[in-house]
Structure 1
Amino acid sequence: MEQSWKQAKAVFATALSAPLVWLVLFFLIPLAIVWAYSFGHNEGLTQIAITGTFKNYARAIEPLYLKIFLKSAGVAALTTGLCLVVGFPVALAITFASQRAKTWLLLLIMLPFWTNLLIRTYALIAVLRNEGYINKGLEAGWNLAAKVMPLQPFQPLEMMHTNFAVIVGLVYVHLPFMVLPLYSALDRLDKSLLEASLDLGAGHMRTLFKVVVPLALPGIASGVLITFIPALGAYLTPDLLGGPDSQMIANVIERQFKRANDWPFGAALSFLLMYLTFVAIAVQALVSKGRKGATA
């Protein structure tokens, strides 16, 4: 008589024990220590007294830091919106491509994950800087036009160390996080519904917005969530591409742990960011549950 996998509890316990111990030792315990630090204060240069105070959280919602939180959320929302606008047509094109082309297109989407983020960001710096490829191309075109008509000397576009550079960098980094969930949702669509819509005279654009988009809403919601959360906590891209006015909340947290040596306040900022993440996940779960209930 064959034994059901559900009855093989010893096998599951053995398989689960090693990753569970690793998760507790190297994730949950360090996270709990940092969370405890958020309720403490510095005593000297190296000691932290955990007293249960909420002063760090009260300081974190002061206007100065609240403004940075709101700006970070706005930048993350703009990044997510741009990724959705760019990523949806890309995912749609991959869905309706031939099987061979689909494989290559998915490979191109996954290719950035095979390269270190730091290297990709420095590559983007080579594109955006004053002596970068964009300005060199514009300068070449400007010089050609100057041979035909009198023009002032070319002035390079100031793109580095601006909010524009941060947005471009974040979209560049997070676009695959949007495309893959969208493709996963679109690839499962019943193509006969699209054919029926077109046969009934809806047209391509109306079919797209009235049939494709509603059916792809679970993928859109997933893509928005897994794009918005990493963009909200982005550190490297604003640090390398942004200027003093382009810093996000992750950069402020880094300064608290390193330069300011104020670990309790940095921990409070970190966990406020984590709480916002939990709120976003809860909202997405409630929306998905409500949609399932409405369609049931």
Structure 2
Amino acid sequence: MRNFKQLAWPYIVWCAIMLLLPMLLIFAYSVMEQGNEIVHFQLTFDNYIRFFTDPDFLLILWRSLAIAIKTTIICLILGYPIAYFIANRSDKVRNILVLCITLPMWINMLVRTYAWIGLLSSDGIISSILGIFGFGDQELLYTETAVLIGMVYNFLPFMILQINTALCKMDKSLLEASADLGANKVQTFLRVVFPLSLSGVVSGITLVFLPAVSSFFIPKLLGGGQFFLIGNVIENQFITVGEWNFGSAISMIMAAVMMLLMMLVRKVDAKSGKED
């Protein structure tokens, strides 16, 4: 039997150069004082202390987590029925529907977000429709609602595709067995379909929550600078303020938060797999 372990070395080297090395550089910047040289530098944890002792940064972190949770919940509520509908179609129809879901993703996310500026503006289509129902005076652009709409629109396909994949892999004979045992459609869904699709739900939650909590250009474009999230703070520290050390510290904190959340999600997924 041939040993293919050596084929993994190029991938390991690529990961070390493209992933591990940048993270090490960011960590090095986060524990260095501003203006230190590479050869001679002094370690400090003031950047981390500054973040956790400043109520404004903690408020922005909480706001980022809150809007990411809202985005994930909305994507789950909208995505599961759509994925369930797609999974129960014939193969030909299912492929067409999946193509319709993935087709907008072929366009750059930044371009798609720019399109929502026109839709949510005071003279846009959505405002015109709201005006018909007497809500024309409400401004949607540059609000939390606009940011949520942009995030849900961009990340909803990830939720749908993951849940649809889990539903398509489900053994259909289990549904027939449930019906033979006298269970109605609601009981079958709650006791058979939904538990078996939890792996897709967990994967969808991961793929939606992680980019939502660190997104910076969606709140920047649709929030108009009035809705500041943690991703905008990091961008501002690097590009505008020029405090790379503090920006690196915030980046490391967010990386740690994401890693903890991923470990939690994997633990929940493994636990649900054992129960199945």
Q: Assess same fold via TM > 0.5.
A: yes
Greater CA drift, 53-62 or 281-290 = 281-290
Change (3 A) 1:50 1:65: farther
SS at 1:259's partner residue? Answer: helix
Deviates most, 177-186 or 35-44: 35-44
**Aligned residue number for residue 30 of structure 1:** 22
CA distance in 2, matches of 1:278, 1:192: 38
Instruction: Show the counterpart of 2:119.
Output: 127
Identity among equivalent positions (%) equals: 36
Match of 1:147 in 2: none
| Correspondence for 1:168 | 149
Cα RMSD (Å) = 2.2
TM-score by length of 2: 0.91
1:71 pairs with one of 40, 63, 71: 63
Does the CA-based 8 Å contact 1:121-1:169 persist in structure 2? yes
Q: Which residue of 1 aligns with 2:49?
A: 58
Separation in structure 2 between the aligned mates of residue 133 and residue 290 of structure 1, nearest angstrom: 46
The whole-number CA distance in structure 2 between the counterparts of 1:291 and 1:20 is 31
| In 1, Cα distance between equivalents of 2:272 and 2:111 | 41
Within-5 A mapping of 1:273-292: 273-292=254-273
Aligned counterpart, 1:5: 2
Letter of the 1:5 counterpart: R
Higher Cα radius of gyration: 1
Q: How many Å apart are 1:243 and its aligned residue?
A: 4.0
Structure 2 unaligned regions, length at least 5? none
* Runs of at least 5 residues in structure 1 that lack an aligned partner in the other structure: 143-150
- Alpha-carbon deviations, 1:246-268, whole Å to 9, x = none? 21100011000111111111001
d(CA) in 1 for partners of 2:189 and 2:136?
43
Q: Deviations over 1:153-173 (max 9, x none)?
A: x84430000000001100000
User: CA deviation digits over 1:130-155, x for unaligned, max 9?
Assistant: 1111122344x36xxxxxxxx9xx84
Bigger drift between 109-118 and 170-179 goes to 109-118
State the alpha-carbon separation in 2 of the partners of residues 240 and 5 from structure 1: 53
Q: Is the 8 A contact 1:36 1:50 kept in 2?
A: no
Question: Do residues 231 (structure 1) and 222 (structure 2) align?
Answer: no
| AA of the residue aligned to 1:177 | F
How many residue pairs end up in the alignment? 275
d(CA) in 2 for partners of 1:49 and 1:167?
45
Per-residue deviation at 1:47?
8.0
